[in-house]
Amino acid sequence: MTKNIKLLLATLVFTFFRLGSVYAQEEGNEEEKPQQVDLYSLGDQNFAIHAGMFFPLFFFDPTPADGESAFAATKLTVGGAGSLMYEAYLNNNFKIGLEIGGIFAYSPNENPFFMVPITTRIAYEFHFGQFSLPLFWGMGINIITYQDEKNVQFLMKPGASLYWHFNSDWSFGGTLSYWVSPEIVPSDHSYDRIGNFLDFTLSARYHF
């Protein structure tokens, strides 16, 4: 009986030290794992250029007459879009910026239609591998020119981009933006309209 007890105690002691060795080895391996390093920090900046297509979707009438649809075609052609953008990072994910751009399209009579959006924007950027996915919200003004008429409207531009990091300085990708541009007529709200547009652009971004 005494021999069996000694054997049992020896087995328990050996198991205890064996478990302690394995635990210490696992802790060492965890310490050796490389920690994730943030790509950006406060003070990092980027400059981007976008160029692509503009898609007029529809006008929305918030107060349609009885029997009339609240949605109407814009009667504009598909056009071109482009913009320049500057952004500054607040940390690895949040950033703020300013964007100025321009679009052109044509009416059914082939008259040129221009819009110049100027927006401030805030974005949250996800990072995974060599890719970044910024989700952004822009707000500002939209300067509209059609023939001899000029108009300035409020503008909202939510959207998303996807970038591939070519190196530490450059990344390339695409951007999709949705435009909401309301025209409010205080003297007669029956003329109020909300323009809905879309643009898709290819993007090049320089980091500094």
Which range marks the domain in which residue 9 is found? 1-35
pLDDT score recorded for residue 148: 84
Shared-domain flag, residues 73 and 166: yes
Shared-domain flag, residues 29 and 55: no
Q: Is residue 166 part of a domain?
A: yes
Shared-domain flag, residues 147 and 121: yes
Q: Is residue 112 part of a domain?
A: yes
Q: Is residue 71 part of a domain?
A: yes
Q: Which residues contact 19 (CB under 8 A, 6 or more apart)?
A: none
Shared-domain flag, residues 16 and 108: no
Shared-domain flag, residues 5 and 94: no
CATH number at residue 194: 2.40.160.20
Shared-domain flag, residues 155 and 59: yes
Helix intervals (H) in the chain: 2-32
Shared-domain flag, residues 145 and 197: yes
Q: Is residue 146 part of a domain?
A: yes
Q: Is residue 49 part of a domain?
A: yes
Q: Is residue 40 part of a domain?
A: no
Q: Is residue 84 part of a domain?
A: yes
Mean pLDDT by groups of 10 residues along the chain of 208 residues: 50 51 51 63 93 95 76 91 96 96 93 95 94 97 90 94 94 97 74 89 96
Number of folded domains that form the chain: 2
Half-sphere exposure in the Cβ direction for 28 (13 Å, CA): 6
Shared-domain flag, residues 49 and 120: yes
CA distance 117 to 139: 9
Shared-domain flag, residues 20 and 51: no
Q: Model pTM?
A: 0.74
pLDDT score recorded for residue 64: 75
Shared-domain flag, residues 21 and 58: no
- Asked if 137 contacts 166 with a C-beta cutoff of 8 angstroms, the reply is no
Shared-domain flag, residues 23 and 81: no
Shared-domain flag, residues 7 and 57: no
Closest CA to 119 of 102, 94, 135, 107: 102
